[in-house]
């Protein structure tokens, strides 16, 4: 009945919360992602900041919705979700004897025309096109985009992407969703610019997401760009790789404030993970049961941490590596590890 979440207990009460999830390519009879059918209970639903892509409900009888279908008397806050290739009829809720569209379930965000090089800086605009200058491309130097998450998540077609930043702070509203493309982020190379406000750009966020970067088969490369993330969700994973993807950072720093946190987690073997001259990597918050790095390597994998300082003293260990076959590289070189917790099971790597 549901491609992602099903709630069908007749007298269900309490609250259901779904924040910052990705529902991708799910198929079911009643709802492609979230389905609730409750006859006597009156739960509360909070469904916000999720990404819905290509979900399908295929029932021949009865009400159905490609993303969300709620059949119950309830209170709810369903808004600010992002949808790609769908419409407002994909989120429905019961109202009396009728089933109606959920008003403002999705943010109305129009995709911009893809090009390989995209400039992003304060003062830019997240627009599909420039209404005053139809002869210029959105994302060019003179018509930059405003936010990194719009630049990465809202292209009108797939393609590799080089983001050019301007040594500013770049807050994220949504996680970055990286599928099968190569995404590179770096600062402009000019020695000076009136747009610069710091020595390196910072990708920052303070939100309730369980991750910041979701990577499938593609790659995400940071060149001299810092990360500063705070999340209220536990557990939290900075980089979540769901396929044979890659993450690499050079000449950067990474700071995360979250409980039960990881730098990287993957559920199958990855292609590449590199930290080179990343100083420091700092994770704070209670994480006594989790490894900072948790991933799978095989004979196509490269793992390289070089010239880097890591401080995650509240984690149980720094690295848990499952090695299914001899990787291309498995390197820890000139790495400084701060002491770990007092848990007797703590260790640098396993």
Alpha helices in the chain (DSSP H): 148-153
* Strand ranges of the sheet holding 211-215, from the earlier edge strand across to the other edge: 176-178, 211-215, 236-241, 261-269, 287-297, 315-323, 347-349
Asked if residue 311 is part of any domain, the answer here is yes
Same domain, 214 and 329: yes
Asked if residue 107 is part of any domain, the answer here is no
Asked if residue 253 is part of any domain, the answer here is yes
pLDDT in tens, 60-80: 888 999 999 999 888 999 998
Asked if residue 321 is part of any domain, the answer here is yes
Same domain, 35 and 173: no
Residues with Cβ within 8 Å of 304's Cβ and at least 6 positions away in sequence, in order, are 273, 274, 275, 276, 329, 331, 333
Same domain, 37 and 176: no
CA 8 vs. chain centroid, Å, equals: 29
Same domain, 242 and 303: yes
Same domain, 150 and 299: yes
Tokens of 238: 């900075």
**Which residue range(s) make up the domain with 28?**
5-101
| d(C-alpha 247, C-alpha 218), whole Å | 9
| d(C-alpha 164, C-alpha 121), whole Å | 9
Same domain, 313 and 247: yes
For position 133, what pLDDT does the model report? 60
- What sign does the CA torsion over 204, 209, 210, 215 have? negative
The tokens 């003179």 sit on which residue?
142
Same domain, 80 and 149: no
> pTM for the full model?
0.84
**Helix, strand, or coil here: 151?**
helix
Same domain, 312 and 208: yes
Same domain, 282 and 319: yes
Asked if residue 110 is part of any domain, the answer here is no
Q: Which of 56, 77, 101 is the last residue of a domain?
A: 101
Asked if residue 112 is part of any domain, the answer here is no
Asked if residue 65 is part of any domain, the answer here is yes
For position 64, what pLDDT does the model report? 94
Domain count, the chain: 2
Tokens of 177: 């969703």
**Helix, strand, or coil here: 314?**
coil
Asked if residue 106 is part of any domain, the answer here is no
pLDDT in tens, 169-209: 999 988 999 989 999 999 998 878 888 999 999 999 998 88
pLDDT in tens, 255-314: 999 999 999 999 899 999 999 999 999 999 888 778 999 999 999 999 999 999 999 988
Q: Which of 101, 128, 161 is the last residue of a domain?
A: 101
Q: Which residues pair with 53 in a beta bridge?
A: 24, 84
For position 69, what pLDDT does the model report? 96
For position 120, what pLDDT does the model report? 97
Same domain, 128 and 270: yes
Q: Which residues pair with 101 in a beta bridge?
A: 92
Same domain, 310 and 245: yes
Same domain, 162 and 194: yes
The Cβ of residue 230 has, within 10 Å, a number of other Cβ atoms equal to 15
Tokens of 169: 């702070």
């Amino acid at each position: 009945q549901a491609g992602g979440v099903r709630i069908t207990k007749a007298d269900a009460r309490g609250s259901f919360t779904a924040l910052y999830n990705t529902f991708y390519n799910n198929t079911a009879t009643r709802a492609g992602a979230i389905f609730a059918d409750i006859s006597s209970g009156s739960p509360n639903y909070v469904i916000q900041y999720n990404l819905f892509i290509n979900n399908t409900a295929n029932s021949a009888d009865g009400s159905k919705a490609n993303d969300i279908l709620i059949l119950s008397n309830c209170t709810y806050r369903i808004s600010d979700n992002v949808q790609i290739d769908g419409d407002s009829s994909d989120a429905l809720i019961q109202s009396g004897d009728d089933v109606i569209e959920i008003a403002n379930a999705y943010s109305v965000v129009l995709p911009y025309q893809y090009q390989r090089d995209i400039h992003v800086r304060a003062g830019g605009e997240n627009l599909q096109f420039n209404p005053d200058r139809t002869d210029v491309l959105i994302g060019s130097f003179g018509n930059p985009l405003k936010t990194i998450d719009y630049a990465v998540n809202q292209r009108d077609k797939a393609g590799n992407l080089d983001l050019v930043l301007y040594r500013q702070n770049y807050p994220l509203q949504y996680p970055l969703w990286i599928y099968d493309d190569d995404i590179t982020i770096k600062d402009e190379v000019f020695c000076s610019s009136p747009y610069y406000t710091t020595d390196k750009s910072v990708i920052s966020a303070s939100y309730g997401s369980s991750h910041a970067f979701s990577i499938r088969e593609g790659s995400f490369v940071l060149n001299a760009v810092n990360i500063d993330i705070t999340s209220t969700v536990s557990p939290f994973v900075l980089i979540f790789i769901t396929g044979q993807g890659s993450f690499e950072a050079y000449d950067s720093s990474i700071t995360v404030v979250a409980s039960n946190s990881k730098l990287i987690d993957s559920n199958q073997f990855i292609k590449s993970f590199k930290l080179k001259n990343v100083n420091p990597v700092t994770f704070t918050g209670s994480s006594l049961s989790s490894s900072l790095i948790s991933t799978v390597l095989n004979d196509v994998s490269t793992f390289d941490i070089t010239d880097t300082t890591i401080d995650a003293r509240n984690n149980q260990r720094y690295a848990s590596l499952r090695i299914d076959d001899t990787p291309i590289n498995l390197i820890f070189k000139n790495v400084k590890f701060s002491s770990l917790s007092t848990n007797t099971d703590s260790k640098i790597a396993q």
